[in-house]
Amino acid sequence: MNTGPARGMRDFLPEDLRRRQYVMAVIAEVYQQYGFEPLETPAVENIETLLGKYGDEGDRLIFRILKRGEAAETGQADLALRYDLTVPLARVVAEYRARLPKFFKRYQMQPVWRADRPQKGRFREFYQCDVDAIGSTSMVVEAELLGAAGDVLQRLGFSGYMLRLNHRQVLSGLLDAGGVPVGQHGDALIALDKLDKIGRDGVARELADRGISADGAARLLETFAPSGADAASTEAAAWNAQTLARVTTLLDGRAAEGVAQLTSILSLVAAAPVGAHVRLDPSLARGLSYYTGAIFEISVPDLAGSLGGGGRYDGLIGMFLGEAVPAAGISLGLERILVVMAERGMFPAHIGADAADVMVTIWNADGIADALALAAELRASGLRVEVYPEPDKLGKQFRYAASRSIPCVTVVGDDERTQGWVSVKHLPTASQQGHPRAEVAQAIRTLTARTHHG
Amino acid sequence: MNTGPARGMRDFLPEDLRRRQYVMAVIAEVYQQYGFEPLETPAVENIETLLGKYGDEGDRLIFRILKRGEAAETGQADLALRYDLTVPLARVVAEYRARLPKFFKRYQMQPVWRADRPQKGRFREFYQCDVDAIGSTSMVVEAELLGAAGDVLQRLGFSGYMLRLNHRQVLSGLLDAGGVPVGQHGDALIALDKLDKIGRDGVARELADRGISADGAARLLETFAPSGADAASTEAAAWNAQTLARVTTLLDGRAAEGVAQLTSILSLVAAAPVGAHVRLDPSLARGLSYYTGAIFEISVPDLAGSLGGGGRYDGLIGMFLGEAVPAAGISLGLERILVVMAERGMFPAHIGADAADVMVTIWNADGIADALALAAELRASGLRVEVYPEPDKLGKQFRYAASRSIPCVTVVGDDERTQGWVSVKHLPTASQQGHPRAEVAQAIRTLTARTHHG
């Protein structure tokens, strides 16, 4: 009998899960500080809600649920597992429009399921973590989204992170200015995206293969990968001012609204802490079809790929309403963030490891009721308390506590019980001291604070 | 196009979800205080992991997932949605046994899916909330489970709750003593369970119909529903002592181990706060087949049915290991608890309603960058801050904040901006006052504390 999880799925054992919960709690707390509200939708949707929304490839990757009862014999599916958090959001906006606030700002952290071929770091069940603001075309929305994403990264302990910023119209305008016909914008971006891999000459050759003139290709390369520029080592305000000026010149009057919106976003974030992390990047693409305005991507030093991204997509949320609904959002790559934080040892020392602050040992059968009473007292003071469930050799109980990373154990021998004293052993330092019963909780709190921060 | 959730499933909009999250956070906090660790398993299991574990009726209610790719044409299912949290726990114990602590104590709060006919209060996707302690036969386990469940109810604001306690062997022994053949134990319990509905005479008739002697029926009724006894109005220790004595006499030497275990559990909980809420109830059944030792059920005044229950089930967790593994647990009826708390107005006033502590208004386009800077300052002090996204009439912005139950709004006119002052309006009292910018956060904190607690 196979007792592993299903292919591409994961069990989260306590240590791992506590780390995940820590990160999700930080994200939720920051989003709440920005006035975003939590939303949850069912794992299971009517199949017609999902089909046709993710392209042919997406349709193939949707997990379909068999009809029940007699209809099961037909092999037909009427339900399907949630594939992303955007289509359910669009459904919710259509269904509850009258009850939702005019500016509906929600965050949602739930698993989605995709029948992809599992591989390293790619799973068939994984969490998405989306934040979206619906109902306003104001650039305040973009500025607040960037602010919230920056605060999340900051609070998780990332440094040197960049929130790369571009605009779909600006991107199109630059491709126009480089002489790329509209029908070839996608091809050109694919070629330009290979710069790191195949170099400037390689990209120029690919562009030529696609019928783009040598002059256009040179302009494109200079636009998307200007020689000598290094975003990371230039202060944000100066970088953004230079880049905005350069882009405006290149555009030569094209995409004026896009330029105005980028200018507005940059001025709005300037006064907030995130301002120092926002970098204009005219080469940022994130796919042309989906977004209608600003686009973002989060990068951190020494990491290929991004930790999340998003933008404005005014056409998508209204899919069930049959009208355009202004919307912008950011999706954090929660699974990626967890991998990077684990690799870089970024979790606070006590997150994940310890199942309790203290373990109450059982001296002998006569002492069990008193041990439980002591545990109740310690819990009433807010401590997390494990009770060893059986009388056993004390050394064995100590080793058990150590194996579970519980920093303190209490010992109450027969004499101590009579006298109202409790011995507390701090396992990391192997020090032991007796305390009057009323002072034990405080002593343990002092010892565990030392364990966590020292 | 149907934009509702699938049949029997629910969308959780923010107000509702915040209440759910509040209750789940209280439960998680209490369980952690008892040394229980969080576990999560995938929503999707291999179908053979689930089939045959829940009886024929259960097998019919399992949501089955179609094979992907070319196999999809066959209509075959290879995966299925989680049906409960016990089978996945048994699978986890088998799969990771070497990595798990000797006494593995876990809590798990995740949705399960059942293709039941939806009806009032019964859904096809609902959360289960299980806490289980694995690996010890000590009655410390039962005492700790009762303590944790009691603390959860206490912290959620329930009063007068009872943790009814019985033992499977005692129950069987009492039925034996009443002259019920082993093969009819189940029938007799079904008849006795109807006492509230059909009265003593009705139950006596039903027992007679099933071939139980009049003398046996009278003894059973006196055993399971003693005349004149009222658990709720008798102090716990006295009630339990009387009941234990009465049951011991009736058993006449039967089920000695069960009586000893109940005696032990009662003595262990006596010193803890939960002791006043634990009531021996020899009529408590909870199905004979599943449990092997103590059984519990949670009841609150004026509510038919229970808010949860559990017991010791030493045969189940080892199903994938092929050996008995000691285990006991309690499952809280999370959905039921939420319904009862809503009906009885038990949620703290601020839980659910307010999306933010304060809303920053936008005076005019020139003031937007400063409004975002103010929002960043207030967030840095820990407040939850909504920003109205567009310049608009102030009255309209105030009404928007009120409609979202946000208690405070800030106003910074052109003069105030120059002078570094901020006006704070407290909407519930319609009072408004100016503050130097550095003192605004503290002023809002004072006002919102008043909103939440006054």
Tens of pLDDT along B342-367?
Answer: 999 999 987 877 789 999 999 899 99
The answer to whether residue B272 neighbours chain A at the CB level (below 8 Å) is yes
A chain contacts of residue B143, beta-carbon cutoff 8 Å: 372
CATH 3.30.930.10 residue ranges for chain B:
14-343
Closest CB to A6 among B46, B63, B383: B46
Nearest to A33 among B99, B267, B385 (CB): B385
pLDDT in tens, A99-119: 999 999 999 999 999 999 988
pLDDT at residue A74 greater than cutoff 80: no
Please state which of the ranges A48-52, B231-235, B379-383 shows the lowest mean pLDDT: B231-235
Determine contact, residues A352/A19, Cβ cutoff 8 Å. yes
Minimal Cβ distance to A390: which of B136, B369, B372: B136
Average pLDDT value for residue range B247-264: 96
ipTM of the complex: 0.94
- Say whether residue B133 is in contact with chain A using an 8 A CB cutoff: yes
Domain with CATH 3.40.50.800 in chain A: 358-453
Measuring CA to CA, which residue among B266, B267, B201, B278 is closest to residue B235?
A: B278
DSSP state of A102: S
The whole-angstrom separation of Cα B21 and Cα B36 is 19
- pTM higher than the cut 0.90: yes
pLDDT digits (tens, 9 = 90+) for A370-384: 999 999 999 999 999
**Which residues of A, range 2-21, sit inside 8 Å of B by Cβ?**
2-6, 9-14, 17-18, 21
Residue A68 — very low, low, confident or very high, per pLDDT cuts 50/70/90? confident
Model confidence at B103, pLDDT cuts 50, 70, 90, reads: very high
pLDDT at A452: 57
Tokens of B118: 């939806």
Structure tokens at B112: 């399960």
Considering the segment(s) A358-453 as one domain, its CATH architecture is 3-Layer(aba) Sandwich (3.40)
Dump pLDDT digits (tens) for B189-238: 888 888 878 888 898 999 888 888 888 888 888 888 777 667 677 899 99
Interchain contact, A385 vs B33, CB within 8 Å: yes
Where residue B273 falls (left for φ over 0; alpha for ψ -120 to 50; beta otherwise) is alpha
Residue B453 has pLDDT above 60, yes or no: no
CB pairs under 8 A between A and B: 287
Extract the runs of DSSP E, i.e. beta strands, from B320-396.
327-332, 358-360, 385-387
Task: Using the CB atoms, write b or e for A179-217: b if 16+ within 10 Å.
Answer: bbeeebbebbbebbeeeeeeeeeebbebbeeeebeeebb
Check if A314 contacts B (Cβ < 8 Å): no
pLDDT at B454: 39
Tokens describing residue B131: 């806490």
Instruction: Decide: B315 and B324 in contact? Cβ < 8 Å.
Output: yes
The lowest-confidence range among A206-215, B153-162, B380-389 is A206-215
Fold for domain B14-343?
A: BirA Bifunctional Protein; domain 2 (3.30.930)
Residues of chain B with Cβ-Cβ distance to A11 below 8 Å are 39-42, 92, 95-96
> For A230-257, what is each residue's pLDDT tens digit?
767 789 999 999 999 999 999 999 999 9
- Rounded to whole angstroms, the Cα distance separating B270 from B268 reads 6
Cβ pair A11:B379 closer than 8 A? no
CA distance A228 to chain B (A): 32
